Amino acid sequence: MYNKDGDNMKKLAIISEFNPFHNGHKYLIEQARRIIKPDLAVSLMSGDFVQRGEAAIIDKFARANVSLACGFDLVIEMPNFISLQSAEFFAYKSCELLDKIGITYIAFGIENMDPDDFLTYVSEIISNDSKIEKLTRKFINENYSFTEARYLALKEFLSSDDFISSNNILALEYMRSISKLNSQIKALPIRRMGANNSDLLVEDKNFASSTAIRMNLNRDIRNLMPKESNESLNYFFSNHKKADYDLLLDIFKYKLLIKNDSMEEILCYEEGMDNFFRKLLSSNLTYDTFINACKSQRHSKSRMKRLMLNYILDNKKDLNELNYNFIKVLAFNNEARQYFREINEKIKVVMRKSDTKKLDSSELIIYESMIKSSNLYSLLSRRDLFLDYKNPIKIQKNL
C-alpha cells in the first residue's frame, strides 16, 4: 500500500528493453525492491524497436505483461524517438521523462565492479566532464564513431579499461543525465549476475545476456528466464513470424530511391549518408549485406540501423525539442491506480485511443510516431495492424 504522505512515496524505475526478459532482469528488480522497498515499481520500456536499431524479439505487449508478472507495477512505453538514439540521448531523454513523472529512484545493472567502485569512477568522470568531452571530440575528429570516441576518451582519462563496458557506459549516461537535469532521482547501481551484457555465449546454467539468449533460441533456454517469459516467447513464436529485415530494406529503398524523401533532418543522420546509401542500393543487396557495407570506423552498425528506422518513421531531430507530458501505458496492476490519481494534474495517462483527445499538438506528434512504429513492426512480423487500439490493457491483480 502507498504511504499516506504522497511526497514520501518511493517510486522506483528501471529503464528497460527486456529483449527478452531473463533471470538477470528478475534479479535486478528483486534486488532493487529489496533495497528500496518502493511503493511503486515502474518499467520505462522500449516499444517494438530497441536501441540497437532492431525489432524486439517479441512485441511490446508480450514483454510488458511478462514485466508485470515478474515484479513491476506499471510498464510505460518509451517513445521510439528516444529508443532509437545513441546512449547519450537515450539516457538523457529517458531520465527527463522519469523526472517529470516523479520517479525517486532509478536502478540499473553494472558490470565488473562493485557499486561503490562504480560510483567513485562516475563521480570522477562527471567532475571532469569538460575534459572527457574534449577527449571525445578529439577521437571523433580522428573519424571514430561517437560510441568508439567515448570509449577511447574514458580509457585515456582513466588510464584503465576496467570501467569500460557497454552496460557501464549506459549507466554512466544515466547518472550524467540526472546531474544535468538537476533531478532529485537517486541512482541505485546493482552488479549484474552471471553474465555481462555483451556476452555472446551461454556459459552459466541460470544467467545469460539477452544477446546470448537471442543467439541460442534453438537450444533449451528455459533455465535462463522466468517461466512467464519462456511461455510468452514460445507463444509469440508460434503465432507470429520473426521480423523480416529484407522487407524493412525494401521499405527503406522505396522511401529513398523512389519517393526520394529527404534525410537531412532525420535523427542519426550525418551529411552525405543519403548519397552513400543510394550508391550502395544500386546493387541488389540483402539487409545484412547492406548493413555490413555501411559499417565503418566512424559509423557503427547500430547507428545505421537506427537511422534506417528513424527515416522510415520520419523521426526528425526537432522531436528532441518537443515538450510533452504524457505516458503511454502498456500494463499495470492495482498499485498503479493510486499513482495515476497522484499525477493526474501534471501528466496525461494514455491507455486507449480516446485518451489522445487530451494531448496537445506536440504530444500527438510523439504519440502518432509510436503508433507508426507499432504498425511497422506489425508489417515486418505479420501481426495485425493498429494493435494499440485493439489490445485491451490487462490489469493484473496483486498477489
- Amino acid occupying residue 169: I
Check the annotation: does 102 bind a ligand. no
CA–CA separation, 57 and 17 (whole Å): 10
Q: Of 82, 114, 79, 57, nearest to 235 (Cα)?
A: 57
305 is in an annotated binding site: no
Was 21 annotated as part of a binding site?
A: yes
Task: Give 73: exposed, middle or buried? Use CB within 10 Å, 0-12, 13-18, 19+.
Answer: buried
- 23 assigned to a ligand binding site: yes
Strand partners, 349: 327
- Spell out where the chain has E strands: 11-16, 40-46, 74-78, 105-110, 186-191, 326-333, 348-350, 395-396
27 annotated ligand-binding residue: yes
* Residue 240 known to bind ligand: no
Q: Is 24 annotated as a binding residue?
A: yes
> DSSP for 92-122?
HHHHHHHHHTT--EEEEEE-SS-HHHHHHHH
Q: What is the three-class DSSP state of 348?
A: strand
398 assigned binding-site residue: no
Is 163 annotated in a binding site? The answer is: no
To the question of whether residue 115 is assigned a binding role by annotation, the answer is no
Cell digits for 245?
529485415
Bridge-based pairing state of the strands 186-191 and 105-110: parallel
379 is in an annotated binding site: no
| 109 known member of a binding site | yes
Among residues 232, 265, 278, 254, the alpha carbon closest in space to that of 394 is found at: 232
Residue 25 labeled ligand binder = yes
Binding-site positions for ATP read: 15-28, 109, 167, 192
Known binding-site residues equal 15-28, 109, 167, 192
